[in-house]
Amino acid sequence: MPTRMRGESVAVGATAASTSEGTLSATPMTLLLACAGLALFAQSPTTAARPVPAAARDVTELIRPIAAKSGIPALGAAIVTSDGLEALGAFGLRSSAAATPVTAGDQWHIGSCTKTLTATLAARLVERGKIQFETTVGEVFGPRLADMDKHWSGVSLELLLCHRSGAELNFDEAIWERTVLGGAAPREQRRLLVEDALRRAPHSKPDTATTYSNAGYMIAGAMLEQRADAAWEDLIRTEVLVPLGMTRTACGAPGTPERLDQPLGHVRAESGWSPIALGPGADNPAATGPAGALHTTLGDWSRFAAAHLAGARGEASFLTSASWKRLHAPRSAEWEYAPGWVVGEAKWAGGKLLRHMGSNGFWIAEASLSLERNVAILLVTNVSDDAVEAPFRELLEALIADHAAHAK
């Protein structure tokens, strides 16, 4: 058990959004990303990788020179519209220590991009009448936590999902040590972590600043669990993954131990890139689920992105138009986040850009959605390092150009 949380700092607006065509207007903030050193308690079975769908354009040859020049083990990408997957591809190696190539059907850890799915789950439960965006921490936990600090009582689910709650970046290290080592199920771990944290005042005054927080998303997840009486892992599956057909998305680092059937995450070493074997230390603790525990395929992730694009156009039945609008716009001009998304602007997007980046310390993923142009760009890699910035930026620009060329 590590004595501290290990994180990967990535500034919003520093990579793909900072292209020659425009930059995010949102103030850069640190996206946390990893609590490495512990294994996720359960990993899903992995099915065989699938080839590029016949209906999708293969952009592997577009990715190849960018990946090769970067020296990164592997890069993958997809172009998505409200109609679904337009193009995808991947190039490189599943492990820097082996010659096994990645495929377009491989699974990639998306880290904090999980937050966009948690926010979408919240909207689903709001529509089911289980909770409201205005429901407060005090209403959910107050009756069972008599010693909760009073400053939490008025913090709403929406404030948590928009990083306006005043919650710290991560829970205190000592809380993790006491809780995770107990071996309880993820839902029980979250309850213990959240209740311990709520006994102390928020890190900052609620609704006075946008402060990125994994802890806040874990509190939000625990609120959803309490009101729906089910674990986040079950809720995300039944309310989001299954309805959208995301059959190859689950918690934990992808792959089967001792089999190179999926990409491995990597860290930089003196000799280059060092693969992280599946097992203890390959992913965040299970309790972090709502904040950043999912892996997925580009095909699955495209279904989620397509639902958001279609919803913005009034074409999706997955949520009501009111719910989509709530997820895609900050409640106040002062806010930098809508529920689950960084909100900014970019020239290529035709104005507003929804974006999120994620990492568990060994992978990086990024989703960029233009609601105006009805296009999303999804980027993935099996490393977590500043070296990703340049190839992600170059790949984003190449994919935008490719989409525009085929739209004519």
Q: Per-residue pLDDT for the chain (408 aa), expressed as one digit of tens each?
A: 322 233 333 333 333 333 333 322 333 333 333 333 322 222 333 333 334 455 899 999 999 999 999 999 999 999 999 999 999 999 999 999 999 999 999 999 999 999 999 999 999 999 999 999 999 999 999 999 999 999 999 999 999 999 999 999 999 888 888 787 778 999 999 999 999 999 999 999 999 999 999 999 999 999 999 999 999 999 999 999 999 999 999 999 999 999 999 999 999 999 899 999 998 789 999 999 999 999 999 999 999 999 999 999 999 789 999 999 999 999 888 899 999 999 999 999 999 999 999 999 999 999 999 999 999 999 999 999 999 999 999 999 999 999 999 987
The C-alpha atoms of residue 399 and residue 288 are separated, in whole angstroms, by 32
Cβ atoms of 60 and 102 closer than 8 Å:
no
The type of residue at 233 is E
- What is the arrangement of strands in the sheet containing 375-381, beginning at the earlier edge strand? 57-58, 84-92, 74-81, 375-381, 364-370, 351-358, 341-346, 337-338
Tokens standing for residue 294: 């999912």
Backbone φ, ψ for residue 48 (5° rounding): -65, 145
Considering the domain 10-127+233-407 in this protein, what is its CATH number?
A: 3.40.710.10
Write down the pTM of the prediction: 0.89
| Extents of the domains making up the chain | 10-127+233-407
The C-alpha atoms of residue 153 and residue 139 are separated, in whole angstroms, by 7
Tokens standing for residue 320: 């009501």
Is residue 100 exposed (0-12), middle (13-18) or buried (19+ Cβ within 10 Å)?
middle
